[in-house]
Structure 1
Amino acid sequence: MSIASTTRLRTLLSLGAATAALCAAPAYAQDTQTAEAAPADEGTIVVTGSLITNPNLERSTPVNVTTSEEVELRQTNVAEQLLRDVPGVVPSTGSNVNNGNGGASFVSLRGLGSNRNLILLDGNRVVQTDTVGRTDLNVLPLALIERTEVLTGGASTTYGADAISGVVNFITKKDFSGLEINAGEQITQRGDGNVFRVDATIGANFDDNRGNATFSVGYQESDPVYQGSRAISRSAISPYNEFDTTAAGSPTAIPSTFTVPGTAGLQINPAGALVPIFSSFNFNPFNLFQTPFKRFNMFGSARYEITDGIEAYTRGIFSKTTVPTIVAPSGVFGSTVTIPVSNPYLTPAARATFCANNDFNPGVAGVQTLTPAQCAAAAAATSPSDPNYRTFTTGLFRRTTEVGTRNDIYTTTFFDYRLGFRGDITESIHWDISGGYGESTNHRVRQNYVLTSRVRQALLATNPNTCLDTSNGCVPLNVFGQQGSITPAQAAFIGGVTSVIDAPNSLAQARAVVNGDFGASLPWANDAVSFAAGGEYRKYKSSIEPDNLAQTAGQLGGAGGAIRPTKGALDVYEAFGELLAPLVQDKPFFEDLTLEAGVRYSHYTIDAPGTPKFNTTTWKVGGSWTPIRDIKIRGNYAHAVRAPNINELFAPLNTVLTNLGVDPCAGVAPLNNANLRAVCLAQGAPAFTIGNIPVPAAGQVNVTGGGNLNLKPEKSNSYTIGAVIQPSVLPGFSLSVDYYKIKLTGAITTPTSQDIVNACFGNLSAASASNPACTSIRRDPNTGSLSGDAATTPGLFGALSNLGRASTDGVDLTMNYNTDLGFAKLALNFAGNWTRSAKFQATPTSLNRECVGFYSVSCGSPAGTAADIGSIQPEFSWTQRSTLTFDNVDLSLLWRHVSAVSFERQQFQDDLAVALASPADCPDPLGADPGGCIVDPRFRHIPAFDYFDLSTRIGVGDNLTLTVTVANLFDKKPPNTAQNIGSTSFNSGNTYPSTYDTLGRRFAVGARLRF
């Protein structure tokens, strides 16, 4: 353990101790805490992580609890925002992700990826909302939730596969009686980002309390916050120097840029001449820091005691959410187009450049350019039948602001229903049989995307009124002018279409459980041995159904690649058992010694011809020892699995976007290294582009990958060991400290973009033009770039395999201490996490990357889905709440802390860093910044950040409660990291909006009326 890490761990312990040292008492509001057992309803104890229902159950694994009281103080409306601040959780896709948001929100426990944890509702799965098998947190309205329990570590034995990193269990309110109405309004200090919500819940007991029925309905809405409305994000900033030859932003800009042989691309200036690139496009003002959101939800639950010992129960949830994402306007992003020399909008100066540099007869040896006289004759040829008619081919980069912003509207319709019966076999043994079915459909509507095929059609024109191909009502297109050169009629022709993608999912499930105790205890124990046993069946179906526009590669300008049709299904049959055995109780130094064990056998059938079936076995063993009443020592070891999901099995081969900061072939580097030049040529870069290959456009490059029906389940081993201390000499005080370690083998992963580049370019002296790791990378045949038209530029190749491995470990600490001050009650709650390590290696030859405390295009849940890569996992984080209660008034302060992080320094091996960075531009490329020439030291490091939220809650009479919250009390500004230093999803607006507050000080007012 390093000195720095030891110091931080001591800081965690000392901060927790300082919190406990202050006088405190039970308050009206409680913060995150450790739960041993929590009552769900009368006679039943639900403990996340076990199927045994026993009120005396001692947990061997720590469970982090967030109560509805905390939700009310925070005035959080979306579950993802609440979970994001739980120490040890790494941000995944959520409301602060715009470019990369698919209309859903997820959570990544321990940074192992949003695909490696389960979302549960009252201990049961609900239908998945994508082919990855994840559940959208947006569909779970917090107004219905009594508490949220987060269990990290392998939980596959209890809940089946997918729970490698843990589960999040949302537990709903039970036996609700009366009427409750909640309403709230939020707005930022700058007057934007308004959030509104209203929920109404009604419930009643009936038939002499033999039954209860509860129904809730709610509506939530939030407004967008544009990056152009904040000073930090009004202009895109580049962290690189010589690797970024243009101003920060996108090369797809206005005026147009064209590829011309022998140049890095030329941009047309106001005078109509093609000159070196002088202007890029500032896309930031169009993008969002807060995506707009609308949700309508209904929830109903009921139970009824049919006869003595037999009860029927049911619940149903329906939700309709709409999440629009807005990104900068569409355009032509390097697609190859053919233009007649006689195009009516082609300026004389630009025509002369194209005539003098393009090959007009590629079938003949040598470059056949046009003389000035031939060029003049071609300019006058208005018919393809004219012998002087000539065309040239060029790569076009043109931002079509005249068409408007790209808008993707995601509407998710979700319902999930469950019905069950439970009863008693004996007084101590119970049975529970239940089944459920759910469907979720994500309906995506794409608007204002430019059709590349129509751009090509509209450029084949020799007069301003008629295209050579007059179909579709073609209007000739002017891409040779400045802003506004594309007329409304032209914009309507190239962009007046809508594309639709539907993604339906379903889950059918059934489960039967017998649990209770044997009615007998072991010789040295008092409590009986408890057990749970049963079986489970699940049927998953998921598909993606794009229209023809969406599934045609390169058709929609700026769509990030085609969306391929995907369809798959799988069945799972499982048998499981759990045992809880008190070994010794009420003996000296053995107040309690309890053993816990479990096993689950699963049989998977994949719905594909010739696909082998596979079986898995997961197990756990744990225990707790209470030597005296004040101290409990606990530990747990679990062997868990995660089966490949439908996307990993069935997704077709496809080219999409990924992030890459530096392309080794870009710029002048290949001119000075013959070996590098040979590799770039072998990857498909034309010879005339060497020395002028563009850098990755806006930090994004193409990557090609797909599913693999030969995948097998990945495996993990995890353990936790810790202690719970509740000293009798200090009433109201509790402390829990737990060390955890999770290790994955055979992980289903693809290499990061940097891993793929390193496999070829990691050692330039050994790089070979015949190395498959090099030749699998395919470049734009026109520009040599890794960015370009997905139809012609496969880019990197990201194979999906079982070759990965990942691990993480750290310490969780929670402390609660309460006391009565006489004039008020004070409650202090502390939850902290120290992540010692989080490593990921995609293949045996990939870098074993350490991502704790680092940010880059490769760090941030790299072992998870592509959508998880790029967020920040701090080494140290905590939340601390202090609450004073004066009769009917709460005054509460929440302190959130994120430790310092730095730019990832090991992107490339040293010899490549030398080749890329000149001493003049990067004085210390191998010390301060190996692997990336980040010249400005502001972008190499983010200091520790602290946020404070102040809440006041007032009870007005017996029925009304008012809550006022000021979030980010001191209006802390986010750090400036520049653009392209991380992934597009998480490094946006020159910062990391999922980790740091970009909205500024916010005010929230809420009211709860209860009868």
Structure 2
Amino acid sequence: MFGPASAGRTANGISAGAPPRVRYRASARPVAPALIRAAPQRCMDRASGGHGSLFPSGGRMTMKTNRFAQYRSSLAAGAASAMLAAMLAAPAYAQQLPPSTAQEDEEDEEDDAPQEAIVVTGSRIASPSLTAPNPIAQVSSEEFTLTSSATAENLLNTLPQVVPGESGFTNNESSGVATVNLRGLGEQRNLVLVNGRRYIFFDARQVSDLNTIPTALVDRVELVTGGSSAVYGSDAVSGVVNFILRDDFDGLEATAQYDITGRGDAAKFNLDLIWGANLADNRGNVTLYFNYFDRQPAFADQRDQSQCFLEDTRVGGVPALACGGSAGIPNGRFAGLPLGAQLAARPQVQAALGALGLTGIDANGFKFDDTGRQVSRFVVPGDRYNFNPDNYLQLPQERRILGGMAKYEVTDGIEAYFDGIYTNNIVDTQFAATPVGGSYRFQVNSPFLTPGVQDLLRALDQTETNVATRNDGFTNLSIGRRIEEGGVRSTRYQRNAYRLVGGVRGDIGSASETALTDLKFDAYYSFAKTSNSQTSEGVILQSAFTQGVTTVFRNPGTGATSPFPFASVANGGELVCENQSNGCVPLNIFGPNISAAGIDFITGRTTSSQEAEMQVVSGVVTGNLFRLPAGPVGFALGAEWRDVEAFFIPSQGGVGDVGVISGGGYNVKEIFGEVRVPLFRGFELNGAFRYSDYSLDNVGGVWTYGGGATWQIVPALMIRGQYQRAVRAPSVDELFRAQSAISEAATDPCALASAAANAVIRDLCIATGVPDAAVGNTGIQPNFQLRGIVGGNPDLQEETTDTYTLGAVFQPARRLSLTLDYYNIDIKDAIFRAPLDSILNLCYSIFQNASDPTCQAIDRLPDGTIGVPGGINAPFDNIGAIRTDGIDAGISYVMDLGGDTRLALAGSLSWLNRFDRNPVAAIPDLTNECAGAYGLTCGEPLPEWKGTARATLDIDRFTISLRYRYIGEVTDDRVTRGVLSAADLFQPVIPPEHYFDLTGSIDLEPLTLFGGVINLTDNEQTLIGSSQEQLNTFPSTYDPLGIRFFMGATMKF
């Protein structure tokens, strides 16, 4: 047995052997009372209800339970429990799965009890459902223990069907959450369910935070590929992730686990307590649970591969990776000087530059030394600021989950149920000190400056092109200043979320003996709310900084102020802020010389808050319409109402903050239905529809639908196919988000040397605000991230998706199953916030017209840089398209090696044939082909091949398991898009990655000890440069920590 809920051997120590498939009849009623009523059918002794996995033992069946009280000779109890594990997660109707034909039994006809096909596979790796019409990958509860996954994303991100979303390694642009991204189509395009019902979303994006899911209570996870809107409603575009929780616990279980890396850092501690009890002669059950999780931080400088930020460059004409970073440096970088012909026309400026030793200066500008008295040219990349060391490699997290479930059979066949959960989650992020950039107004006679620098600023003031400001004692310079005197930036994300579900389900009966039989219903109401607070320390207040850098002299006798020194006044007067309000303190930003009083004036704590809320009322009736020779025609008919709203109150005054309150909401009323028709033995058709009426004017009423078939051609072979039309309504964030600033990795084409050599691009750069002498100079992109302005669009319409799947299930032997499934997903009218890099590419490489909206979206500063208060405008719009297709393959094989020994082998492999992302669907030539690529345009790596496999050996009380993970090679998308050639980059390709994890356990009932090693060979990620996400890699895809050890114990009472 392994971990808290192993299926490796029975609770009484008898060898489990290889798990066959079993068929058993049970009346379609709540499980616990059904088990009680079922006992006399098999002459069984009655005991408390059970939960677990079913295996043969000699001539009878025994079920491994999570407590000591259990059914002896428990065929019925195990079968009913296994039925729960094998059923699809569809809320519409409990499907009667086709019989397992590899080991088919004779069917007993019985009018009052429907036939249920039960499949027990016993696999500990994602194992496809063998009878569903569309591909379903299943992950057992044991896999969470085997992979040391106290948080769900740790496990899901390793599955071939998943492209990592936000995780515990996402420091930059983090929301302090963990998300799942099926097929790489976006975390907002898959729907997360718990027990088949919509789960809590954490903000206006309407995306669920996996941190709020109690993994210790998970019985299994099912991942459904393809649009499922007809069954689940909006958002189920790429598929559904359904966490199915245990709700029939009896006893007390405590699990503690500790996890640490081979370097002795990044520790994690997890504690789970579960208590449950059956009530009123098993008519009901109450289950309560508590989780505490603590994850300690690791810093980037604790690993050699992330100590400094790497960027692509050339050394001696050869591509290389060099330590670089940001042009916002602690001593200050100053640019925006006239260059080329403009400089030639201003001899006074030329002379001042020569006197300072700055002859030949370029757009990168100059910097001050540590004393603030000497200046020198700013050299790329050597003078850039390495911001990596202060960044988190692993984010610290503290989580508490408290919840409970209850169900009770109020009358025969009618059950009331309740589910409640509360989560408190705290996640911290940390960055280097705040950089401040943009164009600022400086006093040319500032006593902070040496006479030589004063001469330069006077020359600039005297030769300004704007006659109105010439010789006014001020001049403008663009700066890049890292406020290191204020310390690091840190943000704490604190999230309180709760969800309440209450409902009633049960039997209605039959209208007649031949029509509308076996009718059941399920109706519930759920309310979910998330309250978020985001508190940031070390924030530079933009308005205060602007106020503090513009200084003047004040006559202490008269109080008069002037940018010029007062004659006959000591030191020319007192240096004060031009705007003296709010206790302004003059800032000496020339060198690391800001005073403590100045830091107090410009730094502060900012707090933003957000609330998100969802209500659902849903009801469904299921049953059989009538009976055909091959079986009953099943149906489902239901209705649902949902209401969502979210509001965001941003912090005020921080660098880049717009500070506008935003939010909104909408509701939707739906009817839906499904039908399943067995045309002949082994062949079934299915269909589904949903009509949704949104309160959004631009969405209104929409239809989703689907249909498919399964065909058991021969006992060992089944084929399946499905078509589905799905929709996704725009989220509250996409509709109502106020304009706000973002920072995103992107490449400014005007900063590339090739821009100066290409007349068309050169002229376009000049037309869009780049000084002619700065075209092709790296100085106009001082940082690898550019500033964008994003905002909502209330005119958005819904996305539409067509999904096709076609597959086969082959079971040539009793314990061998193979699956092969093709999927094709086509998203139209995709809601895109175009990446900043794509907007730049559209403007300078595709449209090449300064009047085009993509070029108009680029707002540059006078020196040609893209920074505060400018940026690239990138609103949401229905302009995109995404197309992807590929093949999933799975295998599961169990070998009985004799005695108490069993070997289970399982694997899953995914081939990505195509992943095309088009930011403007109307222009097919703009398609970005991202299969096998990564980078600034394609994002997280999308390897063509990705797989995982596991071999598990059970020997009596011992279990040992080896997992292998494979991530195929990917190419920098600058190469795949033709922007650069492979010869231009030091690391154009990330080679294949191979990970091995080894785990084991020993069952010392009632104590189970388990432990293991993750990343057994201590692989380090391949280092990449400017196309990285962060930390010189993509840390959610490639392990940034190295070898990791874990150990734990489970005690059952």
Question: Shorter-chain-normalised TM-score: which range?
Answer: 0.7 to 0.9
Structure 2 counterpart of 1:784, one-letter code: G
Please name the residue that 1:928 is paired with. 982
- Aligned partners of 1:947 and 1:968 also within 8 Å: yes
Residue 188 of structure 1: how far off its partner (Å): 0.5
What CA distance in whole angstroms lies between the structure 2 residues aligned with 1:45 and 1:907? 43
SS of structure 2 residue aligned to 1:528: strand
Identity %: 34
Structure 1 counterpart of 2:864, one-letter code: G
- Aligned partners of 1:261 and 1:689 also within 8 Å: no
SS of structure 2 residue aligned to 1:762: helix
- Measured at CA, do residues 954 and 358 of structure 1 come closer, stay the same or move farther in structure 2, by a change above 3 Å? farther
Residue 752 of structure 1: how far off its partner (Å): 3.1
What CA distance in whole angstroms lies between the structure 1 residues aligned with 2:86 and 2:1013? 36
1:540 pairs with 2:644: yes
Aligned pair partner of 1:825 in 902, 908, 911: 902
1:848 pairs with 2:934: no
SS of structure 2 residue aligned to 1:351: helix
Please name the residue that 1:9 is paired with. none
SS of structure 2 residue aligned to 1:81: helix
Residue 850 of structure 1: how far off its partner (Å): 1.1
Please name the residue that 1:357 is paired with. 460
What CA distance in whole angstroms lies between the structure 2 residues aligned with 1:435 and 1:674? 64
1:963 pairs with 2:1010: yes
Please name the residue that 1:88 is paired with. 161
Question: What per-residue deviation string (whole Å, max 9, x for no partner) do you get for residues 581-636 of structure 1?
Answer: 11112xxxxxx111111111100003xxxx44511111111111112222211111
Please name the residue that 1:473 is paired with. 583
The equivalences for 1:501-580 within 5 A come to: 501-518=608-625, 520-523=626-629, 525=630, 527-549=631-653, 556-557=654-655, 561-562=657-658, 564-580=660-676
Please name the residue that 2:522 is paired with. 432
What CA distance in whole angstroms lies between the structure 2 residues aligned with 1:240 and 1:641? 44
- Measured at CA, do residues 72 and 670 of structure 1 come closer, stay the same or move farther in structure 2, by a change above 3 Å? closer
What CA distance in whole angstroms lies between the structure 2 residues aligned with 1:44 and 1:693? 59
What CA distance in whole angstroms lies between the structure 2 residues aligned with 1:54 and 1:247? 58
- Aligned partners of 1:249 and 1:283 also within 8 Å: yes
What CA distance in whole angstroms lies between the structure 2 residues aligned with 1:544 and 1:655? 14
- Aligned partners of 2:460 and 2:475 also within 8 Å: no
The equivalences for 1:77-226 within 5 A come to: 77-226=150-299
What CA distance in whole angstroms lies between the structure 2 residues aligned with 1:172 and 1:944? 35
Residue 229 of structure 1: how far off its partner (Å): 0.5
- Aligned partners of 2:89 and 2:195 also within 8 Å: no
SS of structure 1 residue aligned to 2:779: coil
- Measured at CA, do residues 612 and 839 of structure 1 come closer, stay the same or move farther in structure 2, by a change above 3 Å? closer
- Aligned partners of 2:640 and 2:670 also within 8 Å: yes
Residue 359 of structure 1: how far off its partner (Å): 4.8
1:491 pairs with 2:596: no
Please name the residue that 2:914 is paired with. 837
Can you give the 5+ residue segments of structure 1 that lack an aligned partner in the other structure? 1-23, 31-36, 370-388, 550-555, 586-591, 860-869, 914-924
What CA distance in whole angstroms lies between the structure 2 residues aligned with 1:343 and 1:135? 53
Structure 2 counterpart of 1:848, one-letter code: T
Question: Relative CO higher for 1 or 2, CA cutoff 8 Å, sep ≥ 6?
Answer: 1
- Measured at CA, do residues 281 and 604 of structure 1 come closer, stay the same or move farther in structure 2, by a change above 3 Å? same
Residue 126 of structure 1: how far off its partner (Å): 1.8
Matched residue pairs, number? 890
SS of structure 2 residue aligned to 1:446: strand
What CA distance in whole angstroms lies between the structure 2 residues aligned with 1:854 and 1:522? 51
1:666 pairs with 2:707: no
Can you give the 5+ residue segments of structure 2 that lack an aligned partner in the other structure? 1-16, 21-51, 55-77, 99-130, 340-361, 511-517, 554-572
What CA distance in whole angstroms lies between the structure 2 residues aligned with 1:502 and 1:944? 42
Structure 1 counterpart of 2:953, one-letter code: L
- Measured at CA, do residues 44 and 288 of structure 1 come closer, stay the same or move farther in structure 2, by a change above 3 Å? closer
- Aligned partners of 1:123 and 1:169 also within 8 Å: yes
- Aligned partners of 1:343 and 1:460 also within 8 Å: no
Please name the residue that 2:678 is paired with. 582
Please name the residue that 2:994 is paired with. 946
1:70 pairs with 2:143: yes
Residue 29 of structure 1: how far off its partner (Å): 11
What CA distance in whole angstroms lies between the structure 1 residues aligned with 2:146 and 2:804? 34
1:319 pairs with 2:423: yes
What CA distance in whole angstroms lies between the structure 2 residues aligned with 1:664 and 1:254? 27
- Measured at CA, do residues 671 and 356 of structure 1 come closer, stay the same or move farther in structure 2, by a change above 3 Å? farther
Structure 1 counterpart of 2:628, one-letter code: L
Please name the residue that 1:17 is paired with. none
Structure 2 counterpart of 1:476, one-letter code: P
- Measured at CA, do residues 955 and 245 of structure 1 come closer, stay the same or move farther in structure 2, by a change above 3 Å? closer
What CA distance in whole angstroms lies between the structure 2 residues aligned with 1:902 and 1:202? 50
SS of structure 1 residue aligned to 2:509: coil
1:780 pairs with 2:861: yes
| TM-score (ref. length: structure 1) | 0.84
Question: What per-residue deviation string (whole Å, max 9, x for no partner) do you get for residues 304-359 of structure 1?
Answer: 11111211101001101011111111131x22222222323222332222223345
| TM-score (ref. length: structure 2) | 0.81
Residue 731 of structure 1: how far off its partner (Å): 2.5
- Measured at CA, do residues 953 and 400 of structure 1 come closer, stay the same or move farther in structure 2, by a change above 3 Å? same
- Measured at CA, do residues 456 and 772 of structure 1 come closer, stay the same or move farther in structure 2, by a change above 3 Å? closer
SS of structure 2 residue aligned to 1:998: coil
- Aligned partners of 1:602 and 1:616 also within 8 Å: yes
The equivalences for 1:620-631 within 5 A come to: 620-631=706-717
Question: What per-residue deviation string (whole Å, max 9, x for no partner) do you get for residues 41-90 of structure 1?
Answer: 98897412452114446421121111111111112111111110111211
Please name the residue that 1:642 is paired with. 728
- Measured at CA, do residues 726 and 207 of structure 1 come closer, stay the same or move farther in structure 2, by a change above 3 Å? same
The equivalences for 1:4-43 within 5 A come to: 25=18
Residue 849 of structure 1: how far off its partner (Å): 1.0
The equivalences for 1:878-889 within 5 A come to: 878-889=947-958
- Measured at CA, do residues 908 and 422 of structure 1 come closer, stay the same or move farther in structure 2, by a change above 3 Å? closer
- Measured at CA, do residues 454 and 405 of structure 1 come closer, stay the same or move farther in structure 2, by a change above 3 Å? same
- Aligned partners of 2:969 and 2:993 also within 8 Å: yes
What CA distance in whole angstroms lies between the structure 1 residues aligned with 2:858 and 2:291? 50
SS of structure 2 residue aligned to 1:974: coil
Structure 2 counterpart of 1:48, one-letter code: A
1:407 pairs with 2:490: yes
- Aligned partners of 2:882 and 2:917 also within 8 Å: yes
What CA distance in whole angstroms lies between the structure 2 residues aligned with 1:44 and 1:68? 11
- Aligned partners of 1:667 and 1:694 also within 8 Å: no
- Measured at CA, do residues 364 and 573 of structure 1 come closer, stay the same or move farther in structure 2, by a change above 3 Å? same
What CA distance in whole angstroms lies between the structure 2 residues aligned with 1:465 and 1:246? 42
- Aligned partners of 1:726 and 1:735 also within 8 Å: yes
Question: What per-residue deviation string (whole Å, max 9, x for no partner) do you get for residues 887-939 of structure 1?
Answer: 11101111111011111245766xxx5xxxxxxxxxxx5x536xxx42x2xx1
The equivalences for 1:792-941 within 5 A come to: 793-795=870-872, 797-822=873-898, 824-843=901-920, 844-845=922-923, 847-859=926-938, 870-905=939-974, 927-928=981-982, 933-934=984-985, 936=986, 939-941=987-989
Structure 2 counterpart of 1:774, one-letter code: C
- Aligned partners of 1:65 and 1:150 also within 8 Å: yes
What CA distance in whole angstroms lies between the structure 2 residues aligned with 1:216 and 1:769? 61
What CA distance in whole angstroms lies between the structure 1 residues aligned with 2:955 and 2:527? 47
Structure 1 counterpart of 2:856, one-letter code: T
- Measured at CA, do residues 261 and 141 of structure 1 come closer, stay the same or move farther in structure 2, by a change above 3 Å? farther
1:742 pairs with 2:825: yes
Question: What per-residue deviation string (whole Å, max 9, x for no partner) do you get for residues 91-134 of structure 1?
Answer: 11111111111111111101111110000010000232111111
1:593 pairs with 2:686: no
- Aligned partners of 2:402 and 2:421 also within 8 Å: yes
The equivalences for 1:663-812 within 5 A come to: 663-666=748-751, 669=754, 671-686=756-771, 689-690=774-775, 692=777, 694-727=779-812, 730-762=813-845, 767-781=848-862, 783-786=863-866, 788-789=867-868, 791=869, 793-795=870-872, 797-812=873-888
